[in-house]
């Protein structure tokens, strides 16, 4: 019997498993933007946008454009710093501190004197105020110093050394004289010590010493005929206690600011905001920009502005708790303290409950040095947040 043979059927070969194709990262993801703290970024952009709008409507379009340019430069620096591991700055603490002291000394030598203060350096396209950048540099340096001295020194010695490190730039800024920035340097130093866990007995002793110094400077020294402060500085620090005492001179700014805030009512006067539009309120674009917002947009506008600051400071405090190490926590806490001090003092002097010290409203007051330095500080906050997210992913 013949057997008919045909072609053998081919064995089925299982298809090779294709390698898992990871989704391509978008341009924003590759740039690290998607890892940022978006509520913090939203508060920053909201404050910058409000600043540009207010300056354009109340002062001039030219000043608003300059403020927008400063904001763009500062945001670029913020994004760049956010991509860097902030822990690297710990190794550069000596260089950062030395550079800060050098910049402050430089302004005392070659700085331009304006309104009795030598605080600015004239550059070709920019008037640079080193004390503003020095605030951020002081935070970075002191945070590293307070940590690196923990294992090798007693707590009392560590506290004293941090106080001395903060006192040197404070004294140099005071000599410019820039009282407002000097107060901010003091607030930064105390915040660093507080976040680092300094004993309350030490903080109480520091507070008592500060109170004694204030009494000597403001009361005892003038009483015996040897004033430490200049007359206009003395008036600025004490005028808010009796704003109606000299309405034509030392308390003029406070009175005009209070009138502007009160005239705003619930929803503001808009284009009829005469205090600010007609120039009755001095420094309406800078120190007293909160009063400008209050008169033009009323309680609603002022509340919106303060809510943005509340969001900003809350996110800074939240980032402090998320930090992967103590160094980041101290930096975030000190930045939060600096921002809170700025807002409290500036708004306080606008409504007459704090002395006039020339402290700007962060991201809103006109001024390139203040805006750029504040955005650099925000970049550090973003860096701490990004590194905390990366650290939490690596532990999973």
Residue 392 included in any domain: yes
* Percent above pLDDT 70 for the chain: 83
Q: Is residue 225 part of a domain?
A: no
The whole-number pLDDT of residue 392 equals: 78
pLDDT in tens, 250-273: 677 788 888 888 888 888 888 877
Per residue in 333-377, pLDDT tens? 999 999 999 999 999 989 888 888 889 999 999 888 999 999 999
In a domain, 77, yes or no: yes
pLDDT value of position 7: 54
At 166, list the tokens: 């903060």
**Greater pLDDT, 265 or 136:** 136
Q: At what angle do helices 38-58 and 61-82 cross, to 10 degrees?
A: 170
Segments forming the whole domain that contains residue 334: 48-56+67-85+239-396
Dist CA 171 CA 184 (whole Å): 12
All residues at 6 or more sequence positions from 304 whose CB lies less than 8 Å from its CB, including other chains: 50, 297
Q: Which of 386, 390, 393, 381 is nearest to 143 (CA)?
A: 381
Calpha distance 380→281 (Å, rounded): 35
pLDDT in tens, 326-340: 999 999 999 999 999
Tell me the pTM: 0.86
How many independent structural domains does the chain possess? 1
């Amino acid at each position: 019997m013949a057997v008919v043979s045909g072609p053998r059927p081919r064995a089925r070969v299982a298809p090779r498993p294709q390698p898992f194709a990871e989704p391509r990262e978008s341009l924003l993801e590759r740039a690290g933007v998607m890892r940022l703290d978006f509520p913090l970024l939203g508060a920053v952009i909201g404050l910058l946008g409000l600043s540009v709008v207010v300056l354009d409507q109340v002062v001039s379009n030219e000043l608003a454009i300059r403020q927008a340019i400063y904001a763009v430069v500062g945001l670029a620096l913020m994004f760049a710093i956010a991509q860097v591991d902030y822990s690297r700055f710990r190794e550069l603490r000596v260089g950062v501190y030395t550079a800060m002291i050098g910049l402050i000394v430089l302004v005392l030598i070659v700085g331009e004197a304006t309104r009795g203060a030598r605080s600015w350096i004239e550059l070709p396209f920019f008037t640079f105020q080193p004390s503003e950048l020095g605030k951020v540099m002081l935070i970075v340096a002191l945070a590293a110093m307070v940590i690196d001295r923990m294992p090798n020194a007693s707590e009392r010695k560590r506290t004293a050394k941090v106080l001395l490190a903060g006192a040197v730039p404070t004294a140099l800024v005071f000599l410019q004289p820039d009282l407002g920035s000097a107060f901010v340097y003091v607030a930064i130093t105390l915040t660093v010590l507080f976040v680092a866990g300094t004993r309350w007995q030490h903080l109480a002793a520091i507070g008592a010493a500060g109170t004694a110094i204030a009494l000597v400077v403001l009361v005892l020294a003038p009483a015996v005929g040897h004033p430490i402060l200049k007359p206009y500085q003395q008036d600025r620090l004490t005028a808010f206690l009796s704003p109606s005492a000299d309405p034509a001179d030392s308390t003029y700014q406070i009175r005009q600011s209070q009138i502007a805030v009160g005239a705003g009512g619930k929803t503001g006067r808009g284009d009829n905001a005469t205090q600010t539009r007609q120039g009755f309120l001095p420094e309406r674009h800078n120190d007293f920009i909160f009063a400008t917002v209050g008169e033009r947009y009323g309680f609603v506008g002022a509340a919106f502005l303060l809510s943005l600051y509340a969001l900003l400071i809350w996110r800074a405090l939240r980032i402090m708790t998320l930090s992967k190490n103590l160094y980041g926590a101290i930096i975030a806490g000190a930045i939060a303290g600096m921002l809170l001090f700025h807002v409290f003092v500036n708004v306080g002097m606008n409504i007459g409950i704090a002395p006039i010290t020339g402290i700007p409203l962060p991201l809103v007051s006109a001024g390139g040095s203040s805006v750029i330095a504040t955005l650099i500080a925000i970049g550090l906050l973003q860096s701490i947040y990004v590194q905390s997210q990366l650290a939490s992913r690596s532990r999973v």
